[in-house]
Amino acid sequence: MSTTEQPAPPGSASTSYDPRTVRRAMLAGSIGTLIEYYDFSVYGYLAVVIAPQFFPNEDPTASTLAALAVLATGLVVRPLGGVFFGWLGDRWGRRKALVSSVLCMGVASSITGLLPTYGQIGVLAAVLLFLTRLVQGISSGGESVGAYTYIYESAPPRRRAFLGAVTPIGSNLGFMFAAATAGAISALTTQDQMADWGWRLPFLMAVPLTLICLWARLRIEDTPEFKEAAKRADIPAAPIREVLSTHRTALLQSIGLAMAQGGAIFLGLTYMGIYLTTNLGYDPTHVFWLTAGVVLVTVLLMVPAGWLAARFGCRRVLLAGLLGFLVTAYPALTLMGRHSLAVAGLAYLLFMLSSAFVQVPAASLWPHLFERRVRYTGMAIGYNIGTVLAGGTAPYIAAFLVQRTGNLLSPAFFVMAVCLIGLGALSTVRKDV
C-alpha cells in the first residue's frame, strides 16, 4: 500500500531556504528601505532651508509650514502607490515590485536636487517640487511593505521575528545617513551657500544610492512562497477586492499599528530637528549631528530587539515599545526646553529608545496578519493609510499645534493619542509570529 505525499504548505518548516538567497534578500530589502527613508528624511531635515527657496514669505513659520505641507501631501498618495505596487507584487512577483519602486524613488529624489527655485521661475518651482514629492510618495507606497513582505517570506519561519530587524535597520540608517549628510554639508558651507546650492547635494546623493540598490535587487529571485504559489497557479486575480472582502480585520489592525508607529517615529525623526532649531534656537549643524547620533543608538538596539521578539513574541515587545513612547513623550519635550543641547540630546534619546522596540516587532507582525495570496496588497493598503493619517503628517501636525496653541509641548499629546490607537489595535491581534 502506497501513500501520496502532499506538498508542504508555503512557508512551512520543510520549505527549502538557501542561506545565500536569504542573505541576498536581507541585503536587498535593507538597502531599499535605506534609500526610501534617506530620500524622505532629507526633505524633512532641510525643510527650514528649502522653505524660503520655494515658498518665500515674510513669516519664516509660514514658509516652513508650506514646505512641510508638501512633504505631507506627497505621502497622501502613498495608498495609491501601495495599491499599484501591491497588485504588482501579488500578481507578478515581489522582485518586480521592489525593483520598480526603488527606481521610481531614486529618480524623483535626484530630480528634486536639480529643481529651479522660486527666484528663478516663480510659483512653477513650488509646483515642480510638489510633483516630485508626489512621485516619491507613490513609490514609497510600495517600498517598505515590499521589503517587509520579501524578507518575511525569504526567512525561515523560526527566524522571521529576528531577521525582521533588517528592514527597520535599513530605514533608520537612511534617516541617520540623511542627518549626517545634511550636517556635513551644513558644516562645510556658509548659510548663504547652503541656501544657494548646498541643499541640493543631499538630494543628488540619491543617484549612487539608487544604483547600488538596483545592483542588489536585480540579483535576487522571488520568494520561496511566491514561487511555489506560481507553480500551482495560486495567484489572486483581484488582490485588492480579496483584501477588502476577506481581510478587513487585518486591514484595520495594520492601519492602527501604522498610525502609532508612523506618528511617533516620524515626529521623532523629522520634526524634532525643526523643533530644536526653529523653536529652541539650537545650531542646525549641531542638531543634524545630534540626530544622527540618536538614530545610530536606535539602530544598535534593533538587534537585541529582534532577539527579544524571537524569544518572547512580537506582540509583547511591540506593547513595551508603544508604552515607552506613551510615557516618555511629554517628559522628553519638557527636558528639551532646558536651554542645554546636552540635556536636549539626552531627552531626544530617551524618547527614541522606544523606536527599536516598535519597529522591529512590527516589521514581522504586519506581514503575519495577511495570507500569502494578498500579503503585499493588504500590507500596502493598511500600512500606507495609517502612515498618511498620522505618520507623514506628523511633522506638519506638530508644527501646526505649536503655532495654534503657543504650547511647545503640544506635540506630545499627538504622540500619546496615536500610541493609544496602536495599543487598541494590538489588543485585537491574536496570532503572533
Q: Mean pLDDT throughout 54-70? A: 75
Q: pLDDT higher for 146 or 396?
A: 146
Domain coordinates in residue numbering, the chain: 19-426
Q: Mean pLDDT throughout 344-359? A: 95
Q: How far apart are the first and last CA of the chain?
A: 39
Rounded distance, CA 211 to CA 23, Å? 19
Return the CA Rg of the chain: 21
The whole-number pLDDT of residue 244 equals 93
The whole-number pLDDT of residue 15 equals 56
19-426 to CATH, choices 1.10.10.10, 3.20.20.10, 1.10.1740.10, 1.20.1250.20: 1.20.1250.20
- Region class of 233: left (phi > 0), else alpha (psi between -120 and 50), else beta: left
The whole-number pLDDT of residue 2 equals 35
**What percent of the chain has a predicted confidence (pLDDT) above 70?**
96
Q: With 80 as the cut, is the pLDDT of residue 328 above it?
A: yes
pLDDT tens digit sequence for 200-213: 999 999 899 889 98
The C-alpha cell that represents 354 in the structure block:
522606544
pLDDT tens digit sequence for 152-205: 998 888 889 999 899 999 988 888 888 888 888 888 888 888 888 999 999 999
The whole-number pLDDT of residue 1 equals 36
pLDDT tens digit sequence for 354-376: 999 999 999 999 999 999 899 99
The whole-number pLDDT of residue 321 equals 97
Place of cell 499629546: 413
Axis crossing angle, helix 19-45 with helix 124-154, rounded to the nearest 10: 160
19's enclosing H/E stretch is helix 19-45
Q: What is the mean pLDDT of the chain?
A: 87
Rounded distance, CA 164 to CA 306, Å? 7
pTM of the entire predicted model: 0.83
Residue 5: pLDDT band (50, 70, 90) is very low
Residue 155 DSSP code: S
Lowest pLDDT segment from 62-66, 248-252, 266-270: 62-66
Rounded distance, CA 109 to CA 46, Å? 13
The whole-number pLDDT of residue 36 equals 80
Q: With 80 as the cut, is the pLDDT of residue 23 above it?
A: yes
**The residue type at 192:** D
**The residue type at 223:** T
pLDDT tens digit sequence for 247-256: 999 999 999 9
**The residue type at 357:** F
Q: Are 399 and 269 in contact (CB under 8 A)?
A: no
Q: With 70 as the cut, is the pLDDT of residue 116 above it?
A: yes
Residue 16: pLDDT band (50, 70, 90) is low
Spatial neighbors of 348 by CB under 8 A, at least 6 apart, are 268, 272, 276, 290, 291, 294, 332, 336
